[in-house]
Every structure is written in C-alpha cells, then in structure tokens.
C-alpha cells in the first residue's frame, strides 16, 4: 500500500496544451480519492500520468517512497481499470484475470488458481470459461476489477469505472466498489465527471478545471463549503442558486429583496461590497405566509424529482430554485416566500469568485 505524491506535475501536449498544470497533491495511503471535473479538465490525463501511460513533462511523481516519474507503467505496481474495461476478447474470463500473473511469469496452474480465487471473491463463479463478449456489462466490470485485484497492486486507478453501466446497475456497482476498496484497503484514485458518484464513493475529492485543482476536500467539505462558484455550481445534483448581490449591513440585497447575511461571511465583508450569493436548492424553504428577510416571488415551473419537487420561483427578476417535499408542492402561479437560512448560505467574491470569509470545515487531511 502506498501514498501518491505529485510535485509541480505538468503534462503538456505538443501544441502547448497543458492538460495537467503544475499539480502538487498528496493522496494518502489507503484513501479512496476522486478526480472530479467536466470533460477536458485534465482529470483523465492526471490518472494516466500516474499510471505511466503518459510521461510527465515536468515535476515529480512518487508512489509510496519510490519516485516513479521515469519508470514505465509495468514497474509502478499500479492496476488500472479502463472505461471500456479493456478485457481481451479472445481470452476467457479466467485467462483475462490471470493475465497480469502471466506477465509476471507465474506458471499456468497457479495463476489460474489465483484467478479462480479472485473471481470467486467478486462473484464471478461459473463464468470463468466464458469470453468477455458473453458477459453483461456489470459482469465485465467485475472481471476488469478482478484482473486489477489479481495483479496485487499498490494503487488502483479507475477511469470512469461506472460510466458504461445503466443507471440501476450503476448504484449497485457503486456500493460494490466502495465495499471492495474498504476490504482491500488499497489506495485508489478514480476519475469521474459525475459529482454524485464522487460524493458517494470518495474519502476525498479533487475538483479540477483546466488542468488545475480548484478544491480538495471531503465530500461534506466540497458540498457545503465550495471554494469558489465553479465548485459550487459543479457539485450537487441540483445546481446551486448563484446570484449577484450587494452587502447591506447585516443583510444581502438580491433583486430588490433582502436576505440575512450568511454566518460564514459575517465580519468578512464590507457594506456595499459586490458579492455572489449562493444557496443550495435543498437548503431553501418555502412559506406561503410573509416572512421577514425572505425573497417574495411567484412559482413558475415545477420539476418532479420523485419524492421531492424542484420549484423555480421568479423573485424580483431573479430565478431561484428550491426543493420541497412532494406533499408541500405549491401550485404554479402561487405567490410565497423563499426562506434562506444564514447558516446554509454562502457568499462569494464578485471579482475572484472565491468563497468569502470561509471558516472551512476541518478537513480530514490538510492541503499540502
């Protein structure tokens, strides 16, 4: 088992595109670490650089206490699961799982025994003689995981491991993956563009944009204390309400109405300062009677989310979304008040887009 440390890591492609732009991060031993970001943010390149499939342009990379920057992939003792699983179509499941051992020159008997053992652990019993083409997506994914496990790596690297599964199977596989990582305790880095997946699986998440890290923190951290408006908008199943506002003493003025100053920003802003006010739809409440310090508006759109409803309200020229329970669904066209709790709202600097006056939650591992 091993920690992964990068130091000013740069991956520049011919033509000057910096897919990874001077990253210095530490992924702790045994940690389940997510690289999250929109497509083209460099998260897959970072993963491939850790694997050795891409050669770092600058900077150093260590796995455990070994500097692996200049080592070929095969000597880094990492296992990678690809998005398409990359199972060899001409080999049986058993041969696929045993392939890393074949490269390590383990004799056929012992390596098939290991494959059978690992396959049993990942409930592949009875499928060992099939070819990948005869398996379902979920089974293929487990074969790919089994092959990674069989190689006894110090680090697992998963490239969008769940994206090829259908929605229902994905939830199942997610739980399975987390359980597997807990049981093995192997340092795991996985890449995803799905914030829900990152929040559900990871111990810590790095949110990337344009080759740089916007924020590193635990799921709770990045959800409730996003470092900037980009993270705030990217994390969360319904996008955070972000509106330009002006600080007015103890309150914040949005579209003519006033809401209380978020507690996290108290003392960190000056009167009259331009800010961006942020509130998650899940944290806002709806009242049909007048409330002080609330935004009055008219319901324009209802979107059913199953057990809850996403309501869009137009309040003084701004659109605000919030989530209510299915029993409290307001009628379209009705008027009411959107109540924001000071403890659950945030202010961002209008110019830098950074979180204002944050007292970040204590994170499990401090930033390097």
Partner 1 sequence: MTTTSDTTPMQHSDSVAFVRAALGRIGRYVFIGFVIVFFALPVLWLVTAPFDRAPALRLTVPEFTLQNFRVLLDNPFALRSLGNSVIISLITMAIVLVLASLAAYALSRVHVPGRDLLLYSLLLLSSIVTGTAAMVPIFVLITELRLMDTYLAVVLVMAGGLLPAAIFILKDFMDNTPRSYEESARVYGASSMQILRHVVVPIARPGLATIAVWSVVQVWGNFLIPFILLRSTDKFPAAVIMFTFYTEGGQPNLALISAFSLFFSIPVVLLYVFVNRRYGFRFYGGIKS
Q: What gap in Å lies between CA 145 and CA 130, rounded to an integer?
A: 16
Report the residue from 9, 80, 227, 295 that binds partner 1 according to the rule CB under 8 A. 80
DSSP assignment, residue 126? T
Residues 141-200 that bind partner 1 (CB under 8 A): 147, 151, 164
Q: Which residue has the tokens 């740089």?
A: 212
Report the residue from 3, 10, 86, 361 that binds partner 1 according to the rule CB under 8 A. 86
Strands 32-36 and 204-209: parallel
CB-wise, 149 or 315, nearer to partner 1? 149
Q: Which residue has the tokens 């970040």?
A: 360
Q: Smallest distance, Å, CB 192 to partner 1?
A: 17
Q: DSSP string covering 270-298, please?
A: -TT-EEEEEE-GGGEEEESS--TT-EEEE
Q: Smallest distance, Å, CB 78 to partner 1?
A: 6
CB-wise, 88 or 108, nearer to partner 1? 88
Region of residue 68 (left: phi > 0; alpha: psi -120 to 50; beta: else): alpha
Task: Residue 320: name the closest of 345, 342, 343 by CA.
Answer: 345
CB-wise, 3 or 86, nearer to partner 1? 86
Residues 6 or more apart in contact with residue 16 via CB below 8 angstroms? none
CB-wise, 8 or 75, nearer to partner 1? 75
Task: Residue 200: name the closest of 216, 222, 185 by CA.
Answer: 222
Q: Which residue has the tokens 């990337």?
A: 208
Report the residue from 103, 107, 305, 367 that binds partner 1 according to the rule CB under 8 A. 103
Report the residue from 26, 36, 45, 85 that binds partner 1 according to the rule CB under 8 A. 85
Residues 6 or more apart in contact with residue 172 via CB below 8 angstroms? 138
> Binding of partner 1 at residue 328 (CB under 8 A)?
no
How many residues form the binding site for partner 1 (CB under 8 A)? Answer: 33
> Binding of partner 1 at residue 140 (CB under 8 A)?
yes
> Binding of partner 1 at residue 13 (CB under 8 A)?
no
Residues 25-54 that bind partner 1 (CB under 8 A): 51-53
> Binding of partner 1 at residue 118 (CB under 8 A)?
no
> Binding of partner 1 at residue 78 (CB under 8 A)?
yes
CB-wise, 142 or 280, nearer to partner 1? 142
CB-wise, 86 or 113, nearer to partner 1? 86
Q: Is the alpha carbon torsion for 96, 101, 107, 112 positive or negative? A: negative
Q: What gap in Å lies between CA 163 and CA 90, rounded to an integer?
A: 24
Q: Smallest distance, Å, CB 90 to partner 1?
A: 4
Interface segment toward partner 1; rule CB under 8 A; list 68-76, 171-179, 243-251, 356-364:
68-76
CB-wise, 7 or 83, nearer to partner 1? 83
**CA dist list (Å): 360 to 78, 223, 305:** 33, 11, 31
CB-wise, 100 or 226, nearer to partner 1? 100
Report the residue from 15, 16, 39, 89 that binds partner 1 according to the rule CB under 8 A. 89
DSSP assignment, residue 7? E
Binding site for partner 1 (CB under 8 A): 51-53, 72-75, 78-80, 82-91, 99-100, 102-104, 131-134, 140, 147, 151, 164
């Amino acid at each position: 088992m091993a920690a992964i440390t990068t130091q000013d890591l740069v991956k520049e492609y011919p033509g000057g595109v910096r897919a990874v732009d001077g990253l210095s991060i530490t992924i702790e031993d045994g940690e389940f670490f997510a690289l999250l970001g929109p497509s083209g943010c460099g998260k897959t390149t970072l993963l491939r650089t850790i694997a050795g499939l891409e050669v770092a342009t600058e900077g150093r990379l260590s796995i455990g206490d070994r500097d692996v920057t200049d080592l070929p992939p095969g000597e880094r003792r990492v296992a990678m699961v690809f998005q398409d699983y990359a199972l060899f179509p001409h080999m049986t499941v058993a041969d696929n799982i045993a392939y890393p051992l074949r490269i390590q020159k383990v004799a056929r008997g012992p390596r098939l025994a290991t494959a059978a053992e690992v396959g049993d652990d990942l409930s592949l019993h009875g499928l060992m003689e099939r070819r990948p083409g005869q398996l379902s997506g979920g089974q293929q994914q487990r074969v790919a995981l089994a092959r990674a496990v069989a190689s006894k790596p110090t680090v697992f690297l998963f490239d969008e491991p769940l994206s090829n599964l259908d929605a229902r199977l994905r939830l199942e596989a997610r739980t399975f993956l987390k359980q597997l990582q807990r049981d093995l305790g192997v340092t795991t880095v996985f890449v995803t563009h799905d914030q829900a997946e990152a929040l559900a699986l990871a111990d810590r998440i790095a949110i990337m944009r344009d080759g740089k890290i916007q924020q590193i923190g635990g799921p709770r951290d990045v959800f409730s204390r996003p470092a900037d408006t980009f993270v705030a908008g990217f994390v969360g199943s319904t996008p955070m309400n972000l509106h330009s506002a002006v600080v007015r003493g103890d309150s914040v003025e949005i579209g003519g109405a006033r809401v209380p100053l978020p507690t996290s920003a108290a003392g960190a802003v000056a009167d009259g300062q331009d800010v961006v006010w942020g509130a998650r739809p899940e944290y806002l409440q709806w009242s049909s009677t007048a409330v002080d310090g609330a935004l009055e508006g008219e319901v324009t759109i209802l979107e059913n989310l199953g057990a809850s409803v996403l309501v869009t309200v137009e309040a003084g020229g701004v659109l605000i979304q919030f989530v209510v329970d299915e029993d409290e669904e307001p009628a379209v066209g009705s008027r009411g008040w959107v109540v924001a709790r000071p403890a659950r709202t945030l202010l961002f600097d209008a110019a830098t887009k950074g979180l204002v006056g944050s007292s970040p939650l204590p994170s499990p591992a401090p930033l390097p």
